[in-house]
Structure 1
Amino acid sequence: MKRYTQTASLLSLLCMGLGQLYNRQFKKGIVFLAAHAAGLLYAIRYVPGALKGLVTLGEESSRIELVGKIYRHIPGDHSIYLMIEGLIVLLLAAVYVFIYWLNVKDAQHVERMRASGLVPRTFRQDVRALLDHKFAYLMLILPGIGILVFTVMPIIFMILLAFTNYSAPDHIPPAKLVDWAGFQSFVDLLQLKTWSNTFYGILGWTIVWAVLSTVTTYFGGIFVALLIQKRGIRLKTVWRTILILPYAIPQIISLLVMRNLFNGQFGPVNQYLSYFGLGKLPWLTDPLWAKATVITVNMWIGMPLTMVLMIGVLSTIPKELYEAAEVDGASRMRQFRFITLPMILFSTAPILIIQFAGNFNNFNVIYLMTNGNPVQPDYQYAGSTDLLVTWLYKLTLETNNFNTASAIGIIIFIIVAGLSVGSYRRSRSFREEDMIQ
């Protein structure tokens, strides 16, 4: 066995392709050298300016100047474009570093093979092996690039915005430049009274909404599923079909219809109540009634899906368990408590967590039913029924407070991710691979 040296590895670390050329893999070496040259040319031409723009976010804003007797528009720096260009450069740099790492690993692998007396594969054999054994990786490159460009990059961009002063009216490019502001957006949300009062109020309602919406749809679905699966119930298929209709109808249609039904002045619900002398109720105009209404409507829309899932789970529970419980004299309630509920929770704990996360960010129900109203005078750009996600929407598209909206987005992610991961790790679905019979 030859003595193992690291000459090729060191050469490939010095410059992409040199290690392959040292190992007499000339075609592969040329490919890596070309990638290295392209990376250097791109870095020399674009990287300094892009990184400078990312750090400074621009030095001169657009302006109107009098040139002679004519006013001319003098273009300046656009802070957001500079930030995006800097992000693109950083992502390309990460890709370049990954290719560099592959180059070093390849040279090291071939060097070890030669030291062991083995004959390395030729360039054609490498390509064939890549197509035969690494085909899945090749096919995943395109969706991986898509995720990088359309998911990872926007998330990073949103995070960066939270640390700037990008907001109306004083910091909207190209007329004005955007500056880095550190954690000021988070400090304002948590401490500045005009923002903190709104943030804590909406955060509290969002948590209450997420908990009640999840509990009502989840246990409501269990209750309806138990009724349908009860012995002696006829036409079960018909009942399932009728009860799944609210979920089958497009949600936007259902919510807009519900909004009209609960209209305080002309809605059919209040009209029927008036016929019976009960007066008109402020379903969507009173803060407390509006919150109760959206929770009820969300239950009506979300319960059918839970019902279908529960019917599937109930059909998998062995009937022998119930027969043994009846022999032991267990009541229906005890059978539900010690057999049905544990089996359901074990099977659907991840779904319950997903429903909670979805309700925490349930934009459609709130926006289409109430648009966040009724108005709350103490709130900043928000109403009584606004959730964090609908408030974020208003701050972004209606008032152009992009930095505050980005900070709220980060806080939403931390809360939802923390609660979801923590809850799942404590569930039996995570701790146990199989249900103990």
Structure 2
Amino acid sequence: MSIKVTPEFRTRALAFKAGLIVLVVLAGILFVTFKAQTGMPFAKTTEVQALVSNVHSLRANDAVRQFSKRIGRVSSIDYQDGAALVTMELDGDVDVYRDAHVELWDLSALATKFVALDPGTPEAGEIGDEPIPASQTDDSADVYQLLDVLDPKTRSAATSTLRALGGGVAGHAKDIQHLLAAAPDLLGDLGAVSAALAAPETDLVGLLDNVETVSGRLRGRESEMRQLMDRSQETLAAVSVDSGEPLRRTVDQLPQTLEHTERAMSSLQTPLADTGHAMRSLRPGADALGRSERDLRGFLRESVPVAKQVPPVAKTAIPAVEDLTQTVADARPLAPMVRQALADLKVPLGVLAPYAPEMATLFLRGRSFVSQGPQPGVRYARLGLTPGVNTVTGGLIASGDASLPQNMYPRPGEAQNDRAEGLTPPGLPLGVN
């Protein structure tokens, strides 16, 4: 008895085989994806343990480095005999000796740690399965321990100050965007100011000294200033002397004076136009400052205790400030180079300013992409399955249509709405990209 194979049966068989192959490939990709965070699959590793008195915020999967080069990861952290037993998984066949040394370092100011491993010397002999003793390990020092030098009252006041300052700037992303948009023009003006400060005829140190001298001399002379205003009244009375004849002669010469003034005012039009542009650029920031007046008031109230700590610190800083005066004078030749660097930033900042929202969205989505995990310290990428979409390509190519147009270079603000404007493949919900 023979079985007749129809074309429809052959088509279904081929479709079944193709689907099976796709499932196998997808399973392989998922396996490599989940294993990527713990190293390459099936690669040879060397396991080393170390006893550390205090690991602080060190976690599993944090990096192990040797001379700043990543050589492995922390596979687990257990506790025994009052110390943390850190198990490290090193890439490849690594020799570790009895005089090995381990230190815990900060990778960033956000308390991310890594293990610095010195494998030791061959003369000491291989360590084998024994852990590196605690006497050969150094604990990590966190940034927050620096605040221990302050008394509780100062720490509390500093906390309140930072909280009030954070509340004052919160919710002003648009104002920051406006500031970035105006940054090229502001940098140009800053370059002009830097050029003026770097000019040989500008005695910046002498100017600061003179300002300090004038301020010191005016302090405590309020009564003399009041007397000066009283004498101004006598001066005005003197103007009307001799029936105003001196004033009449002055008025006769006024037309010629006004002509000179008109020429001077014409010369001032360009600087005033630049000033008007600068004031328009500063208006959004000024409006935001007005809206944050309540938070600023709280900040000023809470900063009083902190300000009381300033005089002792200022007295201690007097020798350093005196040395800084000479340092500023010696650093004057660097001002032209700083001006050139700021001018060079004008073009890249002008290009990146329109893409500020997209850059913020990129970091937010990058964080959520690996935000899930079965247990603390283990993270994996999340893939969503949508009917009619090739999940291997992430929905970039629709099933049955390999010629779907794609816009690789969207304009500012068009990236997340790109598919909603005509590039969405059939059967794919709007906004999926």
TM-score (norm 2): 0.23
- Greater Rg over alpha carbons, structure: 2
Report which of the two has the higher share of helix.
Answer: 1
> Whose relative contact order is higher, 1 or 2, with alpha carbons under 8 Å and at least 6 apart?
1
* Bigger proportion of residues as strand: 2
